[in-house]
Structure 1
């Protein structure tokens, strides 16, 4: 049996699962590399192999024979960067030639959004691996905006009047698929995947209010207030830093850049936040 040339990670989650399903519908053979094979989707032309990002030997075995790897970033954790480095090293050892990695907007070693720093260092590790690469730098997701709303209808955080170019995960999926259908055409490219407009969180709240028929508002916090209001969760420091820096990254202007890369890659413009809300119930 010939090993499929394309390996997809994260197929038990939304992004990897949607990408894998789209590829299967097109008749593209693929390897689904997952931690829990029993949870993997049953797709035509898909071979399921088991490995976690942190288990180098298992990842090498799972990726053996694949030419292109769609690497969905690991779940947020204190050791995510080490997991990424391990699986990248495994991919290189297994003979993978090209990595398509889901990164984050404004990834930089000193990014305001703390988790974007891990993405930058992952990108650097991929660049140094000898493999070809394509980076998909996603903005904050449209779905995430509703998760920011508290039970009392308020979005609270130190975002001030900063703007964010919200992107729909549907648009990320179709961009990733377009890249994976012809990886060599996108080698060495970094794509900024955003929606078509940058909104303040006051505008986000107003848009949500109209779409959902309820009163939603944005309340700006100071940074000390943001840490204090989240203290009761008892989360580790790195996680609270990530929560708060979600808002400070917006305030800084890092998330305001609007890119046309989704249309460039797919031929179809990205959805606006309001149009996405019209077709998606919470």
Structure 2
């Protein structure tokens, strides 16, 4: 099998971290991006331009690759169609394995609406018969600060639900390890979490300590959550994703801690305090 690794999403926070780790390991990789001008310049990395929705360009960009790191597309109303097109192009190009970033608890009726997209993508990958590994990530530790409003309040229908958010650095470390020896992880689904189960109240307290200013959590009903986000003027599907990410926490669907980060990488996952200090 070819040792060339194709990586999508290298202009983003997760794909970029994966690409940099692979470069540090000295492996051959091809960064498949929409905008080559934004791609990181890394030793041993080629750059190819191809969006998910252009099957011929995407297949050409994957020519000769032994494994594809498929970063899930940016939130989009037709996200599953984008993923399906990318997967089919990879199979047409003869790529024997796909590593896909999914979501913890992905299912056809899970509370988090974007998690349903991930489930449908997983099923399509399996149905093609291509080799696969799924990385089901919890919410990201390094996104939590973005949930704070201008008034220092995190609002959402999460109640006292617990979850164990994971650092993107840890997801990248897992992915880079798997990509360098994908046969050892064939057909495996990893649930990637941080080390600590936290409520939104816990998170607000930790953020307050790190920032030196008050951060609080205000629980909302579903109706209140949708109403408080109307001012953004975002499409309904996007607002539903934002709101249901909190609701999934409140429903207990993310209430799990695993050892999968340490199992793959050999080191324990980062805590929220460690991420904030970094």
Report the TM-score when normalising by structure 2.
Answer: 0.97
- The corresponding residue for 2:176 is 177
Q: C-alpha separation between the residues in 2 aligned to 1:171 and 1:240?
A: 28
Measure how far apart 1:41 and its partner are.
1.5
- The corresponding residue for 1:8 is 7
Mapping of residues 9-158 of structure 1, within 5 Å? 9-158=8-157
Q: C-alpha separation between the residues in 1 aligned to 2:64 and 2:274?
A: 41
RMSD (CA atoms): 1.0
Measure how far apart 1:197 and its partner are.
1.1
Asked if residue 219 in structure 1 is aligned to residue 218 in structure 2, the reply is: yes
**Runs in 1 of length 4+ with deviation above 2 angstroms?**
none
Measure how far apart 1:4 and its partner are.
5.5
- The corresponding residue for 1:249 is 248
Q: Which runs of 5+ in 2 are unaligned?
A: none
Q: C-alpha separation between the residues in 2 aligned to 1:41 and 1:278?
A: 25
- The corresponding residue for 1:199 is 198
204-213 or 21-30, which moves further after superposition?
21-30
Report the TM-score when normalising by structure 1.
Answer: 0.96
Q: Deviations over 1:136-159 (max 9, x none)?
A: 011111121110000101001111
Measure how far apart 1:271 and its partner are.
1.2
> Secondary structure of 2:100's partner?
strand
14-23 or 127-136, which moves further after superposition?
14-23
Q: Which runs of 5+ in 1 are unaligned?
A: none
The number of equivalent residue pairs is 277
CA contact (8 A) 1:100 1:134 kept: yes
CA contact (8 A) 1:4 1:31 kept: no
38-47 or 180-189, which moves further after superposition?
38-47
